[in-house]
Amino acid sequence: MANLLDQLAAITVVVADTGELDAIKQFTPRDATTNPSLILAAAQIPAYQPLIDDALRSARAVIGPEAPAEAVVLEALDEICVIFGREILKIVPGRVSTEVDARLSYDTEGSIAKARKLIGLYREAGIGCDRVLIKVASTWEGIQAAQQLEKEGIHCNLTLLFNFAQAVACAEAGVTLISPFVGRILDWYKASTGRDHYPGNEDPGVVSVTRIFNYFKTHGYGTEVMGASFRNIEEILELAGCDLLTISPKLLDQLRSSEGVLERKLDGLNPAPSEARVHLDRAAFDAAMAADAMAHEKLDEGIRGFCKAIETLEAQLAHRLAELEGASAFTHAAQEIFLLNDLDGDGCITREEWLGSDAVFDALDTDHDGRLVPDDVRGGLGAALALAQSS
């Protein structure tokens, strides 16, 4: 008898929910998805350090030798997403999902610009739009960004999706794919009700995705449904037959190690009866989100979590950039500090201009003349570096 993973793959497109290349090679899914948290986790693996270093060097070349470290890191974030995407596409035959910076989740124009940039980087690497899905948060602003991008031939995966209103808005916008977060919906209901277990067919996340799937198929929407964020294989089995399911390596392994007869639960050609078709404008969307505490809270929590992952990765990249560039990185930092504090632009910093503490000013003012010049700041940074390296 075939294992559950093989049976599932026969009726649903199985997608690997990971940024780890070795895991993708192990399970050979058709597609793969990434997000800031997964990229951050993958960046901790020593074997991937050369990819990170390549991104930092490429970013420095793009931004220029005199650019501040912060600008290099921001550029490198885009490079890293695309580098991992390129490596993933060497393994999977289908598509990779690459996420727009979560800090742009409520910025339509910013999301569009970032998506165009990411697609441009893929094109420079010889990868066409047909192999990339741009992930955008399912805020109203994100959905409007995706609608415009789809018109430009840039296909989108709407993520952090928790309720029916978000799904309807995405379908009406003509997005390629949505990713309802099954497990995070379950997490909220467990926490809010105190109930510690739901049978698969009663799981609130499963119920939500089933409703969305049948609605889309009943009314002929072309938007694909990809269940995501699973907590156990029971949730996955209850959604067998869904267009796509993105599954973590841990759960993929459990499915591969399990035997039994898999029953199709969803059928796009013969969907279960669904409600009448509805239309949502901005006001109706906002009202639906405000009335749904779970969706409102989980969307906010998800965006904050992805933002935190990005900020953590930025800090790690800044540290690695300093290691790669050595003294030049500290020269850039000294220039930034000097420009920030030299309020009148006369080439020196007085105590009155200094934005830091008196103790730091005194430590930098080694000749005690009451003023700091660029060499004083560079020297102070160099001393701090020497102390850090000797500790």
Say what the pLDDT of residue 384 is.
42
98 Cβ contact partners less than 8 Å away, ≥ 6 residues apart: 34, 81, 82, 85, 118, 122, 132, 133, 134, 135
Q: Could you tell me how far CA 73 lies from the centroid of its own chain?
A: 16
Q: Are 34 and 85 in contact (CB under 8 A)?
A: yes
Say what the pLDDT of residue 331 is.
57
What percent of the chain lies above the pLDDT cut of 70? 91
Say what the pLDDT of residue 365 is.
81
Say what the pLDDT of residue 364 is.
79
Active site positions, annotated: 135
12 Cβ contact partners less than 8 Å away, ≥ 6 residues apart: 239, 240, 241, 242, 243, 244, 245
Say what the pLDDT of residue 335 is.
65
Say what the pLDDT of residue 383 is.
45
Say what the pLDDT of residue 188 is.
97
Say what the pLDDT of residue 386 is.
39
Say what the pLDDT of residue 352 is.
81
Please give the Cα distance from 241 to 254 (Å, whole number). Answer: 19
Q: Is the pTM of this model over 0.85?
A: no
Please give the Cα distance from 38 to 20 (Å, whole number). Answer: 8
* Ranges of the chain with pLDDT below 70: 327-340, 355-357, 359-360, 378-391
Say what the pLDDT of residue 330 is.
54
